[in-house]
Structure 1
Amino acid sequence: MTFRQQSAPYAHWEFVHPSSGDRLRVVPERGGLVTEWLCNGREMLYLDRERFADPAKSLRGGIPVLFPICGNLPNDCLPLVSGDFTLKQHGFARDLPWQIALLADQSGVMLTLTDCADTRKAYPFGFRLQMEIRPLSAALEITITISNTSESESEPMPFSFGLHPYFNVSDLSSSAVEGLPGRCFNHLEMAEAETAAQLSRLAQGVDFLAHAAGPVTLVDEQAGTRLQLQHQEPMDLTVVWTDPPRAMVCLEPWTGPRQALISGDRRLALAQGESTTLSCRYSVI
């Protein structure tokens, strides 16, 4: 096992699994971003290195973290009992520096984010996010513990949580996603749609959400590989997003749809002192 800071090809922390040799590269200063996951000798994650090198540009790649919202809110406004707050698309977790440490059993890494003065301007709660990231045999397991650490009792802390991983594919035209239900919600038109019609447009660009009854599998027909997302309630919604001509597919587990904190649809909430745990696994099958 190795866990060390590296300077090339960019500044990051590297974790190498002691038995499999699978590797994680993580940049905690850039939103706790997992930038690379080498599994069985194959790099699973897509990363646009040019955009990554320019902090002024939004990231395209790795595994961004979405908290305390997934998607956006009307006029970026979060209405709470204590007032209205400006909270931008996908929240702030993907933009802030996290802390990183080796897990006690040395099976992976722990990333931690806590509230600060800047977060409380947009989201008036004390919180702690802890993500345990383990590269297992032919799999990546992520466990997230979310806690409301507010010092005084107020309204419950509402939130949604999601991951936005970018996965390499050989060619969008020879990629497929299996395990989705017949109907989905098209984010581009904000309307229900036929899932099959959306999947036929991966190479043209899609952004849709579906609630699958079981695992969802990304198939790279050209490479002959299958990557399965195994997720449990409440993080059992799946967003599929492509951004052609990039050779990647985002297969994202979310807890709630866009605007959940306003509509109440699958909105999660924690009272002062409460915690909850979420989990998902990506398996090469």
Structure 2
Amino acid sequence: MAMTLIQQSAPYPHWEFVHPSSGDRLRVVPERGGLVTEWSCGGREWLYFDRERYANPANSIRGGIPVLFPICGNLPGDVLPVNGVDHTLKQHGFARDLPWQLQLLEDQSGIQLSLTDTAQTREAFPFPFRVVMAVRPLAQALEIRTTISHTGDGAVAMPFSFGLHPYFTISDLSRTRLEGLAPRCLNHLEMAETDTAGQLERLAQGVDLLSRPSGPVTLVDDLAGTRVQLDHPAPMDLTVVWTEPPRAMVCLEPWTGPRQSLISGDRKLELAAGESLELCCTYRVSQG
């Protein structure tokens, strides 16, 4: 590997990518779900990452950019029925728990993470697949371009949802705003539709909401004077906002489909054998 991607042991074992021209940095742990743990851009660390919790593998991770595949959210009883057979598929799928392959992009502009089906994944999700994520630091931005492929040759189409679950560090939940969300949203805590404005007033108490915005969504940290804008064209154009007080973070998540999409059919994506689909989202940041 070129010197732009270096294996490091501190403050925890990871691979460090430093952009050759901007100096922006990614830290990534491929064996822990292809997790990007840190993204430094313009001299500022933008991602929230709980290192202490991460140090205990028994704990779920709080921080970085977990990957949601082949579902976002959960299924009733954690069951995915396929052709009359019930498969156990846990919340947000298995991609965030499995080891990924890591390599440098050919032009050295970023990293590539890839995940391929195994005997273990086929027990939960009986399809051969490949997920390839190109993660590129751009000028004041981070682009994540994901190609999902149904690598089988059978007659059954592969249903799936895909999402990202990035944690952004903020100064104070009570002085944080979101712009661009739709006026109405789905409150995941009650699975009921409600007014978005009322939910956003509750960021500091804890929210979990799904919005169907018509364009970009921006996270504004008034105290720090920073903005994080999520550009997420269809079909990755749903937005989930999640807070977990007292953590000083907001998750601003692009999803392709809502919870239980593979059961309800609401925005369920399908690929025939041999087909691929590219999804893209970009986080643009500004400060001061």
> Structure 2-normalised TM-score?
0.98
Post-superposition offset of 1:211: 0.7
Separation (CA, whole Å) in 2 of partners of 1:82 and 1:144: 30
Tell me the alpha carbon deviations over residues 141-191 of structure 1, each in whole angstroms, 9 at most, x when there is no partner: 0000000012x3132000000000000000101001101111000000000
Alignment size in residue pairs: 284
Asked whether 1:282 is paired with 2:283, we answer yes
For structure 1, which runs of at least 5 residues remain unmatched after alignment? none
Deviation digits for residues 209-233 of structure 1 (CA, Å, limit 9, x no counterpart): 0011111000000000111000100
Mapped partners of 1:129, 1:158: distance in 2: 14
Alignment RMSD, CA only?
A: 0.7
After TM superposition, list the pairs within 5 Å mapping 1:232-243 onto structure 2: 232-243=233-244
Q: Does 1:66 align with 2:68?
A: yes
Structure 2: how far apart are the matches of 1:57 and 1:226?
30
Structure 2 residue aligned with 1:139: 141
SS in 1 for 2:90: coil
The one-letter code of the counterpart of 1:29 is E
Shift of 1:82: 4.8
Residue 215 of structure 2: aligned partner:
214
Counterpart in the other structure of 2:105: 103
Q: Tell me which of 87, 91, 105 is aligned to 1:89.
A: 91
Which residue pairs with 1:251 in the alignment?
252
Correspondent of 1:9 among 11, 15, 27: 11
- Looking at structure 2, the residues matched to 243 and 44 of structure 1 have their Cα atoms a distance apart, in angstroms, of 17
C-alpha separation between the residues in 1 aligned to 2:155 and 2:8? 43
Within a 5 Å distance, the mapping from 1:167-182 to structure 2 comes to 167-182=168-183
Retained in 1: the 8 A contact 2:158–2:272?
yes
- In structure 2, the partner of 1:30 is 32
Deviation at 1:46, TM superposition (A): 0.3
CA distance in 2, matches of 1:181, 1:212: 5
Q: CA deviation at 1:79?
A: 1.0
Q: Distance in 1 between matches of 2:41 and 2:176?
A: 19
Stretches of structure 2 lacking an aligned partner (at least 5 in a row): none
Q: Which runs of 4+ in 1 moved over 6 A?
A: none
Structure 2 counterpart of 1:25, which letter?
Answer: R
- The CA distance in 2 between the partners of 1:80 and 1:20, in whole Å, is 47
Partner residue, 1:184: 185
Aligned-residue offset at 1:24: 0.1
TM-score (ref. length: structure 1): 0.99
SS at match of 1:233: coil
- State the percentage of identical aligned residues: 72
